[in-house]
């Protein structure tokens, strides 16, 4: 399946756009410093405003910077509070990018994307939802920590073509299994389920009868396309 | 100083710190009482086992780095996430090597407190971001639907335009088809006509020869002449059928509707059909049974249809009978009579049944049964439809056929035309009569429809005689003359109309199917139009012609030019035409010559008095009947007034002149003289 290439031609020529690694480094600095304004300026003005595509901003600036924040916490260079602040800034930045998503024509598929109960890390799921939208999916993104009951209710009500669940911490895997079991009980096994996030491995996916999706948001789109039998 | 060690619970809720030691592998080697309670672990448990799933790396890193680190007075704190009693809890660990391979660790629970607060805040934030996203999504969805609606609307407009175009094209096709049909009908009509004349000669001449008017014939000659006559008769029948058919298609077949009883109809049918029965083994029975009703229809047409059916039945029946019978029935609520022609003949195969009504269709193998025009059944069906009825066929091959002619007891057009005639007898107030000479009822109805509400009223005339009678009764404001198929009589009618001084001024519109405009104009037609008639044209022409017609002429006798002008001006735009005379003598002369409908007479004129003029008008029979309205600015003396009231129709003061009053006075004057307002009243003048 060809990768979803969604870059819209921008007014600025491609070669005039700033290199994304440089942007990513400065963006990380802004996150670590907790400087919200600087972070916005880098992504929206220097990135989007100068011709860097939304997709590149996601994949090459925000995602690496967020990974780096995690690493810095692991290396004890950032506190939990600083990590939260950095994540909050990235979420706001993504919210501002959202209206600018270049979208393919609707492919007629509806999907629900959510973090399971207890799972507070929703940056990855949000990015995945954005990429699915760019690829033409109609996405209901429910955010972090969705209580199992509400999530199942919504899925039964909306009857999406696929359900995408994000599990960052392995401890939340049981909640994911519970959602899948209840949703399948109500809707039957036709409901395609995709699990993603660092907390998911092949064993969990097999237990849930789900496809796994990759670490990169664009791989996620491929996984959905494959699970739904290609674009209609 | 000694006291018993306090229980761990004594520090519960006040201390946020615990202490423990571990070895190189990170296994716990000692825990204080609170550490045991908080961690829920015992000696030997590896610290990394307590780490929240996914965060083990940081715990291992902490152990590795602290074991390798130099002793520092106050080591850096490490925040790690442990899973304690099912809850992920953030603790800040400070560790110092106290022996080779041994770490003394103090863990603070303070970060767990703030981590929870920060976690809640960022949870709310993430929720808001999600809501924001949802709002955006919904807005986009609304926008999408809006665009979808716009697109649908545009599509609808497009298809609407396409439908319009299609309609126009169909209209054009329709026109050209109709034109083609008309050309065909005209051609057939003309050609048939041209055929009839020489055929009549041939038939006449053969009859003369066969009657031996010019001497005897040899048997051989007689046989030959018989063949000539037979062929000519067959050809004549074909031509007649063709002519009938073309008339039918042109909608030109007139109906002569009259009441007749079924019994009487059958009596005359018997006489008419008997000569057709010429086969010894076939009996022709014409019997209505007990059926009796009074029909209001064209019996001639019924006879024509039945003759065709019976001739057809006899032709295909070799033995048995051909029976003509009748029955009563209804179609919807309409009472109908069904005439059945039933034979015991060869029958018609189901596939051929619908086709026998087609022109010139011949069932395979039937041709040898003798000559036929191939038009009989087609004509019969057309005639049946013309009578408002239908002609159906039921047949079984080898057993026989039954043709059923169904006609309404009362021909619908007959009723309509009667009521049209009835309506035309009384002219509605303000309406003008338009004599429409047209033999086709349908077309007459069309004229009536076109003229409804236009101020014109149709007086129908289906023959030239009817037209002449109607003209005698009351001259119309205009005549619409349809030149009928037998054109000559119509042309003569037009010529006579335009030669007669009494009628020559009546505007006449000639309507034909063939372009004879020059001829029509030469004979004096005021307007010419090729069928079909168009409403707008008809109304425009009638308005234009009827206005300048002689119908509503008003003569003003007044020496004052301004008075004349004012009166003419007040009647401008009405149907009244104003003639002017500046003195009594000229007025009387104009009145004699032009016979106006109304005269406005000034009371005071130099050299003449109104009474003199009135006397002159009364003396002449042509002008005696013309109503006179005295138009004056003088205050009349009582004797003058009473005399004028006797001799004139009305007295109108010049001061009160207005358009409304002038028209009202003219109407009143005409009424008083027994003439209807606005209608021609010339015969009273003459």
Mean pLDDT calculated for residue range B226-234 = 82
Report the distance separating Cα B455 and Cα B453, nearest Å. 6
Residues of B in contact with A145 (CB under 8 A): 123
Euclidean distance between CA atoms B463 and B147, whole angstroms: 67
| Contact between B136 and B46 (Cβ < 8 Å) | no
pLDDT mean across residues, chain B? 80
Asked if B462 contacts B441 with a C-beta cutoff of 8 angstroms, the reply is: yes
Q: What are phi and psi of A207, to 5 degrees?
A: -60, -35
B559 and A CB contact within 8 Å? no
Contact between A143 and B122 using a beta-carbon 8 Å cutoff? no
Structure tokens at B666: 């003219």
Burial of B271 (0-12, 13-18, 19+ CB in 10 A): exposed
Q: How far apart are CA A177 and CA A56, in angstroms?
A: 33
B258 and A CB contact within 8 Å: no
- Taking CA atoms, B54 is separated from A145, A169, A196, B88, B196, in Å, by 18, 6, 15, 12, 113
For chain A positions 153-182, those within 8 Å of chain B (CB to CB) are 168-171
Which chain B residue is nearest to residue A145, measuring alpha carbons?
B123
Shortest CA gap B151–chain A (Å): 15
pLDDT tens by residue, B301-316:
888 888 889 888 888 8
Task: State whether B130 and A144 contact (CB < 8 Å).
Answer: yes
Q: How confident is residue B342, by pLDDT bands cut at 50, 70 and 90?
A: very high
Instruction: Name the band, by pLDDT with cuts 50, 70 and 90, for residue B429.
Output: low
B283: helix, coil or strand?
A: strand
Whether residue B113 lies within 8 A of chain A, CB to CB, comes out as: no
**pLDDT digit string (tens) for A108-124?**
899 999 999 988 888 88
Is the complex ipTM more than 0.95? no
Which pLDDT score, from 0 to 100, does residue A37 have? 93
Whether residue B201 lies within 8 A of chain A, CB to CB, comes out as no
Between chains, do A145 and B123 touch, taking CB under 8 Å as contact? yes
Q: CA B187 to CA B190: how far, in whole Å?
A: 5
**At B367, is the pLDDT very low, low, confident or very high (cuts 50, 70, 90)?**
low
Q: Pick from A54, A81, A107 the residue to mutate for testing the B interface (most B CBs within 10 Å).
A: A81
8 Å CB contact of A122 and B54: no
**C-beta atoms of B118 and A142 within 8 A:** no
Give the confidence band of A10 by pLDDT, cuts at 50, 70, 90. very low
Q: CB of A99 within 8 Å of any CB in chain B?
A: yes
Question: Given CB atoms, is A75 within the 8 Å cutoff of chain B?
Answer: yes
The answer to whether A171 contacts B133, with C-beta atoms less than 8 Å apart, is: no
Q: Percentage of residues in chain A with pLDDT exceeding 90?
A: 44
In this model, does residue B130 exceed pLDDT 60? Answer: yes
Confidence of residue A32 (pLDDT cuts 50, 70, 90): very high
Closest chain A C-alpha to B130 CA, distance in angstroms: 6
- The length of chain B in residues reads 686
Residue showing tokens 């019924």: B302
Q: What are the backbone dihedrals phi and psi of residue A215, each rounded to the nearest 5 degrees, phi first?
A: -80, -25
Beta bridge partners of B401: B395
DSSP state of B200: H
What confidence score (pLDDT) does residue B93 get? 92
pTM (two decimals): 0.45
Closest CA to B347 of B390, B403, B274: B403
Confidence of residue A11 (pLDDT cuts 50, 70, 90): very low
Q: Which two tokens stand for residue B158?
A: 């497009």
Q: How far apart, in whole angstroms, are the C-alpha atoms of residue B484 and residue B302? A: 23
| A contacts of B133 (beta carbons < 8 Å) | 95, 98, 126, 129, 141
Q: How high is the pLDDT of residue B371?
A: 59
- The predicted pLDDT at position B500 comes to 80
**What does the pLDDT average to over B280-289?**
87
Can you say whether the dihedral through the CA atoms of B631, B637, B638, B644 is positive or negative?
A: negative
Contact B189, B250 (CB under 8 A): yes
Whether the CB of A231 is below 8 Å from some CB of chain B: the reply is no
Specify the pairing of strand B294-297 against strand B258-261: antiparallel
Q: What is the pLDDT of residue A17?
A: 61
Per-residue pLDDT, averaged over B519-539, amounts to 80
Which of B54, B118, B134 minimises the CB distance to A170?
A: B54
What was the pLDDT predicted at B37? 87
Q: How does residue A153 score in pLDDT terms, banded at 50, 70 and 90?
A: very high
Residue B681 reports pLDDT greater than 60:
no
**Does an H or E element contain B536, and which?**
helix B535-548
Decide which of A215 and A87 is more confident. A87
Report residue A164's pLDDT band, with 50, 70 and 90 as the boundaries.
Answer: very high
Q: How far apart are CA B172 and CA B167, in angstroms?
A: 9
- Tell me chain A's radius of gyration from C-alpha atoms: 18
């Amino acid at each position: 399946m060809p990768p979803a290439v969604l870059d819209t031609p921008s007014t600025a020529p491609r070669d005039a756009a700033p290199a994304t690694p440089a942007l990513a480094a400065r963006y990380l600095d802004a996150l670590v410093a907790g400087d919200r304004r600087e972070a916005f300026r880098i992504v929206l003005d220097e990135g989007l405003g100068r011709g860097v595509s939304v997709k590149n901003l996601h994949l090459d600036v925000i995602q690496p910077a967020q990974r780096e924040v995690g690493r810095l916490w692991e290396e004890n260079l950032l506190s939990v509070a600083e990590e939260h602040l950095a994540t909050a800034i990235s979420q706001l930045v993504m919210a501002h990018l959202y209206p600018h998503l270049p979208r393919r024509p609707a492919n007629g598929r509806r999907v629900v994307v959510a973090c399971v109960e207890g799972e507070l890390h929703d940056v990855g799921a949000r990015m995945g939802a954005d990429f699915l939208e760019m690829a033409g999916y109609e996405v209901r993104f429910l955010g972090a920590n969705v209580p199992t009951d509400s999530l199942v209710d919504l899925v039964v009500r909306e009857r999406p073509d696929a359900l995408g669940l994000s599990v960052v911490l392995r401890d939340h895997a049981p909640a994911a299994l519970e959602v899948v079991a209840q949703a399948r009980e109500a809707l039957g096994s036709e409901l395609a389920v995709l699990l993603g996030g660092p907390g998911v491995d092949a064993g969990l996916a097999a237990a849930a009868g789900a496809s796994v999706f990759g670490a990169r948001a664009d791989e996620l789109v491929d996984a959905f396309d494959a699970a739904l039998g290609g674009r209609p | 100083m000694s006291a018993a060690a306090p229980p761990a619970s004594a520090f519960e809720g006040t201390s946020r710190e615990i202490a423990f030691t571990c070895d190189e592998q990170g296994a716990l080697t000692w825990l204080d009482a609170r550490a045991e309670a908080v961690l829920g672990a015992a000696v030997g448990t590896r610290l990394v086992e307590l780490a929240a799933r996914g965060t083990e790396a940081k715990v291992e890193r902490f152990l590795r780095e602290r074991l390798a680190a130099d002793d520092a007075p106050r080591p850096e704190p490490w925040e790690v996430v442990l899973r304690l009693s099912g809850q992920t809890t953030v603790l800040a660990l400070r560790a110092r090597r106290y022996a080779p391979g041994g770490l003394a660790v103090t863990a603070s629970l303070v970060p767990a407190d703030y981590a929870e607060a920060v976690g809640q805040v960022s949870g709310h934030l993430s929720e808001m971001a999600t809501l924001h996203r949802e709002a955006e999504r919904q807005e986009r969805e609304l926008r999408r639907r809006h665009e979808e609606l716009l697109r649908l609307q545009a599509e609808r407009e497009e298809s609407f335009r396409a439908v319009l175009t299609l309609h126009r094209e169909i209209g054009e096709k329709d026109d050209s088809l109709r034109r083609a049909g008309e050309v065909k009908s005209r051609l057939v009509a003309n050609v048939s006509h041209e055929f009839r004349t020489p055929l009549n000669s041939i038939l006449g001449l053969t009859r003369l020869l066969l009657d031996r008017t010019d001497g005897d014939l040899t048997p051989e000659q007689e046989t030959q002449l018989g063949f000539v006559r037979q062929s000519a008769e067959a050809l004549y029948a074909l031509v007649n059928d063709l002519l009938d058919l073309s008339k039918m298609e042109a909608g030109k077949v007139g109906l002569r509707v009259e009441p007749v009883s079924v019994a009487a109809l059958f009596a005359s049918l018997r006489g008419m059909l008997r000569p057709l029965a010429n086969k010894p083994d076939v009996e022709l029975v014409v019997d209505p049974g007990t059926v009796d009703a009074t029909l209001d229809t064209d019996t001639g047409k019924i006879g024509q249809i039945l003759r065709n059916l019976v001739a057809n039945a006899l032709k295909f029946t070799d033995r048995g009978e051909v029976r003509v019978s009748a029955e009563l029935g209804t179609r919807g609520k309409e009472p109908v009579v069904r005439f059945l022609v039933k034979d015991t003949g060869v029958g018609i195969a189901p596939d051929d049944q619908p086709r026998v009504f087609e022109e010139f269709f011949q069932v395979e193998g039937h041709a040898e049964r003798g000559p036929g025009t191939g038009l009989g059944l087609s004509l019969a069906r057309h005639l049946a439809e013309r009578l408002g009825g239908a002609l159906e066929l039921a047949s079984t091959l080898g057993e026989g056929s039954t043709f059923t002619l169904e006609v309404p007891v009362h021909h619908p057009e007959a009723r309509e035309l009667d009521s049209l005639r009835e309506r035309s007898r009384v002219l509605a107030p303000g309406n003008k009569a338009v004599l429409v000479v047209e033999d086709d009822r349908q077309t007459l109805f069309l004229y009536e429809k076109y003229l409804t509400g236009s101020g014109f009223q149709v007086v129908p005339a289906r023959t030239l005689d009817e037209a002449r009678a109607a003209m005698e009764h009351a001259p119309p404001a205009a005549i619409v003359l349809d030149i009928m198929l037998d054109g000559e009589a119509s042309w003569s009618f037009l010529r006579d109309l335009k030669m007669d001084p009494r009628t020559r001024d009546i505007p006449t519109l000639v309507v034909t199917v063939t372009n004879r405009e020059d001829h029509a104009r030469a004979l004096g037609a005021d307007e010419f139009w090729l069928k079909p008639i168009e409403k707008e044209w008809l109304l425009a022409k009638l308005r234009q012609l009827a206005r300048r017609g002689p119908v509503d002429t008003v003569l003003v006798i007044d020496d004052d030019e301004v008075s004349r002008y004012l009166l003419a001006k007040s009647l401008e735009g009405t149907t009244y035409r104003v003639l002017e005379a500046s003195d009594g003598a000229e007025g009387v002369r104009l009145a004699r010559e032009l016979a106006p409908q109304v005269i406005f007479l000034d009371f005071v004129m130099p050299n003449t008095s109104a009474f003199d003029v009135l006397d002159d008008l009364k003396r002449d029979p042509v002008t005696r009947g013309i109503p006179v309205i005295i138009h004056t600015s003088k205050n009349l003396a009582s004797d003058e007034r009473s005399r004028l009231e006797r001799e004139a129709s009305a007295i109108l003061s010049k001061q009160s002149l207005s358009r409304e009053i002038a028209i009202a006075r003219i109407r009143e004057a005409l009424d008083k003289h027994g003439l209807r307002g606005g209608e021609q009243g010339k015969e009273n003048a003459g």
